[in-house]
Every structure is written in C-alpha cells, then in structure tokens.
Structure 1
C-alpha cells in the first residue's frame, strides 16, 4: 500500500489528504435510522474562554427532547402520507382528463399576488387560502414525483379540462411559473406569525420539486427542473433566495403556536364556512408544529425553528446541484462568494450572484447549531469554498465558541454517525492549515471542561484540549472502526499544529507519548504475527501473509507520522514544551527499537539527540529528583541546547483537497439529512433509490 502522497512546494510539505468521498465512501445511512442520530441543534450559549459552554448534560437532555419531537413530526407526516395517498393517486390518474392539478396551481398563483399586501394589512384570509392551496399542491407533487418521470410530471402541469389526454402546447409553462412564484414568495413576503406557515410550505415545495434525486440511484446531471432553477426566470433571484434562506437559519425564528396565524372568528360568528375554514387551517398547521393536536409542548419544542431547519436543508440541496454543461451552479456561486455587510472596504464582486450578509450573526448561529449534521455541513462548505468566511472565522478572537462544539462532536464519536464525525474532523483540518489559528488556540485558556470524562480538566488551553480529543479519536478508531483515512486526517491536523505547540498541558503531552506507546505495541504484535506466518507453508490458499504485510505497512506509516509530529515540536518549540520533553524522557525506552529501523532512522536523529542531551543533564543533577526539579532542569536545558544541533526538516504541513467529483458523496449525504430531519416530509423507505435504506 502506498503511503500518503506528498508534493514539495516553496519549501513546505503539502499533503494531498485523501479525497472526501473516498474517505467517507458511498453513503450508507443504516446507522442514521437510529433515533440518536436524528438530533435537533442543542442550545449553546456564548461564554467567555474562562467559562466555556457546558454542553454535556444539558445538550443531551435537549437533544433527547428534540429527538422525541422529531419522531412525533415524522409520525404525523407518515399518517398524513398514508391517509392522502389513495386520493393523490386518484387525482394523478384522472388529471389528464380533468386538469385539476393545473387548476389548483392557478388558484394558488392568483392568491400569491395579494400575499404581500395581505401581510402588511394583517389580512389573513388570502394567506390562509394560499397556504392551504400550496399544502395540497405539495401533497400531490410528492406522489407525482415518486410515481412518474419528470417528463410526465411536466405534462401534468399542462393538462386542462378538455378531451381526455389533451393539453395546451402553447400555454404558459406552469411548472416554471410555479417555481418562480415560490422563490418570489420566499424572498418578498415578510416573516410574521401569520406568514410563517406559507413561507415554510414554499420552502418545502422547492425541496419536493428537487426530490427526484431520491428516486434515482445515479446522480442527476440533467433535469428540466434544475434548468428552470439555474437558467430560467428563477436565476434572477438566486442571490436573494440564498440570502433569505441563510437569514432564516441565522434568526432561528420559533414556530408560532398553533392557531396564532389563523384569523379569529368575528363576533357575529362569521358564518359556517368562515369557522370551518379556520378549523381546517388550524388542523393543517399541526402537521408543521412539533407536538400536534392536544400535546403539551416541551421546552425544546418552544425553541424549535422548522423554518430555519427547512431553509438550511434547501440551501444544502441547491449548493450541491451539479453544474450544467454550459453554466456553473449559480447557487454554489452565491454561497461561495458572499461577503460581510460590516466590511466597508468591500468592492463590487466580479462573481455572479454575490451578496452581503452579516458575518457576526452567521458565526453565532453556526456556533450554536453545530450539534446538527446540517449545520456542520454548512460550516464545512463555507470554510472550504468561501474565502471571505474562512478569513473572518480565522480572525475571530473568540474562536473557542466554534471549536468547542466541534471537539464535543469528536469526543462523543461513538454516539455520532460517521459522516458527522468526518465533517467535524475535516473542519479542524481546514482550520489547522492556518498558522495563526495554531498559535492562537494555545493562548485561549479554558476552565472546567465537564464533558471530558477521562480526567478532570480544571484549566487547559484550547490547543491542548484539541490535541487530547484528536488523540482520543485516533485511539477509538484503532480499537473500533480501524479506518486508515480517519487516522490520516487526525494525524494531519496534529501535524499542522505541531510546529506551534505551546505550553502543552502535562496530560496532553502524556497522551501524545501514550499514543506512540500504543502504536509501538501494535507494531510489535503485527510484526510477530507476520514473522510467525512466514514459518507456515508459503503460497497455501488463504495464507495470512498479505494481510499482515499490509497491516504492518499501515502501522509503520502512522508511527512515522507520530515521530514527525514529535520531531516538529522539538525542532520548532522545544523551549515552550517542557512537559513534552518530560514525557519523552519518562518513556525513553519506547524509542530504542526504532533507532535502527530503516523507515525511521532519519527522523529519530533529533529525538535521540534530545533524549541524550536531557538525560545527561538529569544524571549530572543527581538522583531522587522531584517532578518540579526535573521540569526546572528541562527548562534550563532547553535554553542551553544549541539549535544547530537539531537537524532541519521541511515544514510539516497537510492540506485538505476535495474530490474532483464531490457530488458522489455530498448529494446522497444531503438527501439523507433531508430524509431524516426535514420537517413535515415523509417518504416510504422502500421507494428510496439514492441510498440503501433500512425500511424497518
């Protein structure tokens, strides 16, 4: 097996880290069906570095409540789907003769013309009618898309009440008109209690329009609906749509209580039809509010924001649409180029569809919502593809409020799905590519990290905590998943930081050497097994030699990386890390077996020299030295050690590079999040083709 690919450039070592969908492999969401993986964002509060957020027990309780709420919504959606399926299928069969689907859409389009004025005047009748019409359209669309091709769907938009099977070839393109109307509604209609439901329904309708991907095994590259969104009238609202959806995510507006958006019955009773209409609207709204009819809202329900969740889902879907042959994805262009409203020096962007948004508000929302897969995926997208966001995040002086939730995701690796863990890890890798970040995290001092259970951490730097969590992830992977690529990315993050290690916590220094000890034992065990296998009959069927050889090669690559990390720290910041030197001396015997190994001889020179130099000074100081005295001698020796005695190696730098066809991973991943977490949407598992779904 070949080692990590390296490219030398401008005196720096850059590693092309394993590309993402090779890392994550094709999406298999079986582990997503466990309710513990369907989490709502936990509440995180902004705190000072000295008082970091305690997200362990509180967030777990909130997530448990959110899981129950999501299960309730999922149950409501499933009941609705089953109750309306036969009616929708009947309309599907009769629509070529009746044209009722097109007629319903025209009713909705007429109602939307008055929506903005109705909202301004607090006139709820038109809003209620538009919402109910759109709700029915969504129910029908879901069934149509699941059972007919895209071309057949477009025909259903054109059927009218004439002879059976007739249609108007020269009529307006009702499908494009509906898409344009939905986008126009989202960007123009103000968000109020009375408009919340219709805005949510409009966003849901766009998600349903794009859900053909769920019923295709292959990634869709050509689609009429995609063409409407990326080429037609809709494209003029690209930046406004993305901006509105992001602000919906930022604001996290709670859903209004059931009935608050429904007009009140007049004093004179208003007539039977008026009261019936109010009752129907109130009943429909329970599908979209967490809890349903007659249920008592939990605290987490009160804080939930279906609109924010659905908006984020739609952003992720739009950003990951594949480019058209003659046009790049305009929604990706918008997301990857938007700028900060607070930057007065911003010049007009040459990138199409660029806009400005408040980065401070976006940063706060991203920090608070990291316990959800979709928020972590948005953060990854912005850090990887939007240089303006990446620069802003790296310049923040409160970077800990972003990094701590990411570390907690990695710490609870056994409770998270593997894709969430990988996204969190790659975010760390992207951040550690910046030397300023690597320096600043050692200057942020945290107190009382309650979710870290292995040891009481009353005071520790953010950098040392990051090292502890990444090492713990490596050890978990060694004993459980044994994924080489996860090792590669964890070690890449440590390597990027190694030259800037500062004042490492004694426990962090111990864990670095303990990990090397674990790798050393693993190496010896595999080497012994390989040696024993050589004594067996060569060439026999099922001989284990190839497996042992491969395992040995992998473990030696990891050991080499660990030695390079230790060497990088010693070469660049030895005088800042007496605790690491102490741990190195305490376990010096671990390194003896690697001195003569051909794979490690060069990198062992500096480590050997440091061990010999400080061992000599300790011997001169006498026996029975206290820990404090040993550390004092190490600090004095670090000043006295001539730097020219340490051999210089190229700077250890790793860079994350995305796969050339990232849609092979991201599109199934995004749609799995929609399947599991979108509000008010249910698809039968047996109908899903994009990924393997456990229907049980």
Structure 2
C-alpha cells in the first residue's frame, strides 16, 4: 500500500497509513488518496498471510479505531449501497467481494462473545436511519446472486465466500439482533424474484450447509415460497438431495443433518406432498448402497432414509431431538402410505424389531438393578426408569405409525401386511402391555384376520400366493371393527430461543468458508473450534 511499500512488515512505518489513521483531515481531492491506493505488493490469499497482515497493522488499526465510531454509520451505509446498487460484473467483482468482506468483519464481533449478542453497534446503525433501506435491499441482492451461481473468481483472488453463501450471510445479517425479525415491520421489504430460478438453484446446491440453511429459512418463514414448492411436479429434484444428506449422516455435521430433517418435517405437514411422493417412481438410486433399488417410489425411499437415520442415531449419537423429528415425519406420512416397496415395509418392521430387543434389554437391566438394590444399599446403581420410558415412547410412536397406515390405507399396502405377518411374533409381548394395549387392538385384529386366511389356504405358500391372499382379504376385512384414533399430525415449531442454535451455526459457516478473512482461532468464543 503506497508506492514505497513492498512487504507486509513495512506497513506499520508506512507514511500514508499513518496519515490515514491520524487526526488530520484529508481533502477528497488530495493526491494522497491516489498514492495510498497504489498497491505494490500482492493481496493476501491465505489465512497465514492474513494473520501476518493483521499483526503488522495492529498499531494502525488502534489509531484508526479511536476516532472512527462517529463515521461508522456513514461507512456502513456506503458499504451497503455498494453491495446492493453496483451490478455484479467482471469489472466490479473484486470491489463487491471487498465490500462484503468488510461488512462481515463489522458484524463478526459476535465471534468473540460466548453469549448471543442481542445488539451490536454495527447492527444498531444498519437497522435505523439512512442504512435501513439498503439493509432491506441486501436480502434481495443476496438471493439474486445465489440464484445466479456466480462463476469462480479469477485465479489468485482472495474470496468471501469460498462457495455461494446466500444462506449463511443472509441468515448471518439477520442474526445481528438475535431475538427479533431481521427487519422492523415498518420497512417495506417485499420484492419480486423468479421462484423457478430460485427453486432450481436450491435443488442444485444442497450439498452445502448454506443452501440447506437458506432452504429451511424460506420454507419456514415464507408461505408464498412454501406453497410454490409444494405445488411443483418435480419435487424429487429437491427431496433427493435432502435425502442424500441424511443418508450420508456420518459425513455431515449435526447442524446440516438437523436442517435437512426439519425441511422434510415441514414438507410432510402437507397431505398433498405425502400423496404425491408415492406417485413419483425413481430408477437406480446409485448412492443408496445397502440394497440395489432398481425401481422405487420417492415416498418409499424417503421412509427408508428416515428409518436408517433413526437406526444410526440409536447406535451412535442417541439424540432424542433427532428421534423425535424423524418419527414425526414418518407419522405425518403414515396415513398416506401408498404401494410401499417391499424393502421399505420390511425396514419399518425391522426397526420395530430393533426397538423391541432394546426394550427387552433395558427391562432386563432394570430388573437386575432392582434386585441389586434390594440386596445391597451401599452400591449406587444406574437408574433405568428413564431409559425405559424413552424407549417405550418410541415404541408407542412406531405402533401408532403402523396403525395409522393399517386404518387409513391398508388396501394400498399389501407389502406392509406381509412384513407384519412375517414378524407377527414380535408384537405378542405388547398385546397386554398397559402402555400399548389400546393401540395393539387394531394391529392384533389385522394379524389375526390374515393369519387365519393364510392358515385356511394351506402350508408351503409362495410369496406371490401370500400377497394374493392378502389383496383378496383386504376386501373382506371388517373395517368397522378397527378402532379410530386421532390423526397423526405433527408441526415443526422453532424453539423459544432459536438463535441459541442458529447464530453459532451461521458464524461457524462464515468462519470456515471465508477463506479471504482471518480471525484468531484462540479468540473465538461463540463455538468450540473442534465442534461441528
């Protein structure tokens, strides 16, 4: 910076920087500005170079910081105007990147606080006075640039962000005030945007946390976009990338998995979605490796992936929140199950089998614990009551899901009845259990009815013959004997203080993707550096 500077180490002694950070006023026509902006060394392109730059300019920044608060509002407005009003072209690309980077730096004070900041100085200026109109326009600008999927930057340019960051920065700006809407209600911030282009961009970019976060934000907070997406006839383009995130749960951070799962839960709140996904037939799902799926409905695939997520969670993370959302999505779909793939039907019953085994194991441990406590009062023993309560809640939910399918769409799902009959012994122990007795009535009726018909048909029946008997029996089943239960419906509701989850998540994305910015990792307080 300045014609006499060729090394970062020379910056503290640079006369132009000293003058810039000094107290003397400088006219806008002063030749100083041209001399200051005469770069004679390459801009930093890595975190290590940025670290050196920060260390070398500490004294300059301190001098500049002591007087600059009065000018902060004007500076922020200029940055916002630059970001929103300057068209993104090849010739303006680098200045746009610098403006966004500078804005992120101003907002990044949150990184150095463990608690969520309710308000920062930067946000105070952005949400009032002359900056306010530009703050509203920024959302539109970010969405447009997200849709455009800008071409990669020129080689050697330091860039924020590394990938398209429509989601991260959009939500990051909103996080300036943690407990409120990003924009006051007095601001008209409605704008037109091409929903088709937005939908296409979202479908193509779900491999990134930022795009999934943006999709969640739009579905949850914008009813127009949610209605548009649910009306699409190509929902598989959006749902498949979401399912792939969940399928590769071992490779994804927990936040990304949560977002993908909540998106599915929001979608399954709509009965039209739950019906239509069983009408979409997919061929050769290459990323599903447990079994070759040459042809399967989107609905059956969704069931398979959600059940796999539950099983993974049972053996690894044991996260009750994840369990709850997975089961809620299955429950929302259950009344609309149609033509379930035989493997999907098997996995539903296999999950129940796994839960049943786990229940028996915990029950046995609880019994042994009780015996031990009676024989010795000195040894502290684990309390299995809570574990037993949790596993029984999950078993109850699975029974309700199976019952919902049997009472609402039995005639559409012979494969589920087949799987139920094949593993009917699993359900025997729950017939008289006080926690499950009521919900078992219908399941027991179905099992007894079809078992009787199979017995009448004779022994050594083929799979095809059993399915034929099931299809014929559906017509004769006395449906009036099936007890009616309330419809299973679950709705996603954000926690009371969602910012406690979202703000650390957003800033972790910014921290990890902003390759052109440096923050000392030892100073980061908002999240632990080894966390997701």
Q: Counterpart in 2 of 1:313?
A: 168
Q: CA deviation at 1:105?
A: 10
2-side partners of 1:108 and 1:186: how far apart? 25
Q: Counterpart in 1 of 2:3?
A: none
Q: Counterpart in 1 of 2:103?
A: 206
The equivalences for 1:339-378 within 5 A come to 352-378=188-214
Q: Counterpart in 1 of 2:236?
A: 400
1:579 pairs, out of 410, 415, 427, with: 415
Give unmatched runs, 5+ long, in structure 2: 1-6
Q: Counterpart in 2 of 1:595?
A: 431
**2:363 is the counterpart of 1:527:** yes
Contact 1:410 1:470 in 2 (8 A): yes
Contact 2:136 2:187 in 1 (8 A): no
Deviations 1:497-522 (A, max 9, x none): 00000000000000000000011111
Contact 2:110 2:117 in 1 (8 A): yes
1-side partners of 2:477 and 2:209: how far apart? 48
Q: Counterpart in 1 of 2:501?
A: 665
Q: CA deviation at 1:374?
A: 1.1
Q: TM-score, normalised by structure 2?
A: 0.89
Q: Counterpart in 2 of 1:288?
A: 158
Q: Counterpart in 2 of 1:7?
A: none
Higher relative contact order (Cα pairs below 8 Å, separated by 6+ residues): 1
Contact 2:162 2:514 in 1 (8 A): no
Q: CA deviation at 1:129?
A: 7.2
1-side partners of 2:361 and 2:138: how far apart? 58
**2:59 is the counterpart of 1:156:** no
Q: Counterpart in 2 of 1:221?
A: 118
Q: TM-score, normalised by structure 1?
A: 0.69
Distance 1:187 1:537, change over 3 A: closer
Question: Secondary structure of 2:483's partner?
Answer: coil
Distance 1:439 1:108, change over 3 A: farther
1:253 pairs, out of 116, 132, 150, with: 150
Q: CA deviation at 1:227?
A: 1.0
Q: CA deviation at 1:687?
A: 1.2
Contact 2:168 2:213 in 1 (8 A): no
Q: Counterpart in 1 of 2:464?
A: 628
1-side partners of 2:75 and 2:88: how far apart? 20
**2:354 is the counterpart of 1:518:** yes
Q: CA deviation at 1:313?
A: 3.1
Distance 1:520 1:311, change over 3 A: closer
Distance 1:207 1:192, change over 3 A: same
In terms of mean alpha carbon deviation, does 186-195 or 537-546 score higher?
A: 537-546
Deviations 1:532-589 (A, max 9, x none): 111113474563341x111111111110000000000001000000000000001000
Q: How many residues align?
A: 516
Distance 1:107 1:675, change over 3 A: farther
Distance 1:147 1:690, change over 3 A: farther
Q: CA deviation at 1:693?
A: 1.7
Question: Secondary structure of 1:543's partner?
Answer: coil
2-side partners of 1:692 and 1:637: how far apart? 59
Q: Counterpart in 2 of 1:412?
A: 248
Q: CA deviation at 1:153?
A: 7.2
Q: Counterpart in 1 of 2:289?
A: 453
Q: Counterpart in 1 of 2:21?
A: 100
2:134 pairs, out of 216, 237, 252, with: 237
Deviations 1:206-245 (A, max 9, x none): 1111010111111111222111101121111233211111
Contact 2:175 2:503 in 1 (8 A): yes
Contact 2:453 2:473 in 1 (8 A): yes
1-side partners of 2:379 and 2:32: how far apart? 71
1:604 pairs, out of 426, 430, 440, with: 440
2-side partners of 1:419 and 1:542: how far apart? 40
Q: CA deviation at 1:195?
A: 1.1
For the aligned residue pairs, the C-alpha RMSD in angstroms reads 3.5
